[in-house]
């Protein structure tokens, strides 16, 4: 059995780590360089950096900040937000990123996924999907959760897999920041029907939520932010808890 991964997420705005609820009500959560170094030391399996306003502000990711964070890491580092083309990816990989997350640009130009997978390898390409449950089903949102699309989440997830994505980062906008638990149903649906790993994001608030997302949601990895940033659940405590409940984790 592959070890389940625990992934802290640095949501970045104006060079600082922030966190919101349902993609709004943003508050400051700490220095990203210090947080990244601390998470690597605590035993996080990977780190994700998302520049949450880059797409809506139509600019690239903060490359120098990525470079500074990467200096302090010895774990895989995924960077997203404002990635628009292969040149953006090359710059971020040169700055120390191991994987790149694309969302808005991939929805606007699905061929980008194929191009990036061909040039850099599928293992480098993470497609982030921000999803919200509506009367029309589970709908994909872009521009940092501001703009609904005509894409149904399950269909889009299958399409990006076929185009060469190596992993999906699935964030439930309904659950984001609520601390009421992950979106288990759609996480399980994607995890059971796709041949690539699914990272569940949005809703972590208790140790039991991680058991649920791995056992009931069938996720390969779980991403969280505020519970780690504000010291509510230390990563070593979480990993020991998962192990004691029969899940394979790297200690």
Residue in 51, 130, 138, 176 annotated catalytic: 130
Identify the H or E element spanning 124: none
For residue 157, give the nearest of 172, 167, 146, 142 by alpha carbon.
167
- Choose, from 11, 45, 88, 138, the residue flagged as catalytic: 11
CA-to-CA distance for 110 and 223, rounded, in angstroms? 25
Could you tell me which residues come within 8 angstroms of residue 201 by beta carbon, excluding any fewer than 6 positions away? 9, 169, 170, 171, 172, 176, 182, 222, 223, 224
Among candidate residues 249, 184, 239, 177, the one with its CA nearest the CA of residue 207:
239
Question: Is 11 a residue of the active site?
Answer: yes
Q: How many CA atoms lie within 13 A of 152 on its CB side?
A: 8
Where does residue 147 rank: exposed (0-12), middle (13-18), buried (19+ CB within 10 A)? middle
Residues 194 and 157: beta-carbon distance below 8 Å: yes
Residues labelled as active-site residues: 11, 130
């Amino acid at each position: 059995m592959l070890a389940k991964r625990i992934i802290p997420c640095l949501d970045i705005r104006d060079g600082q780590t922030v966190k919101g609820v349902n993609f709004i009500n943003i508050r400051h959560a700490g220095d990203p360089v210090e947080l990244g170094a601390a998470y690597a030391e605590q035993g996080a399996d990977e780190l994700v950096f998302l520049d949450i306003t880059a797409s809506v502000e139509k600019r690239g990711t903060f490359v120098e900040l990525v470079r500074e964070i990467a200096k302090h890491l010895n774990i895989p580092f995924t960077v997203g937000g404002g990635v628009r083309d292969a040149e953006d990816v090359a710059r971020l990989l040169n700055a120390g990123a191991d994987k790149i997350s694309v969302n808005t640009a991939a929805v606007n130009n699905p061929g980008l996924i194929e191009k990036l997978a061909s040039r850099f390898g599928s293992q480098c390409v993470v497609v982030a999907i921000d999803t919200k449950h509506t009367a029309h089903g589970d709908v994909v949102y872009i521009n940092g959760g501001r703009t609904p699309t005509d894409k149904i989440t399950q269909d889009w997830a299958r399409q990006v897999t076929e185009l060469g994505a190596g992993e999906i980062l699935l964030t439930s906008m309904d659950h984001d920041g609520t601390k009421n638990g992950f979106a288990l149903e759609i996480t399980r649906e994607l995890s059971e029907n796709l041949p690539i790993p699914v990272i569940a994001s949005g809703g972590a608030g208790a140790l039991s939520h991680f058991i649920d997302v791995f056992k009931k949601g069938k996720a390969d990895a779980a991403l969280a932010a505020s519970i780690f940033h504000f010291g509510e659940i230390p990563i070593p405590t979480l990993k020991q808890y998962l192990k004691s409940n029969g899940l394979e984790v790297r200690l």
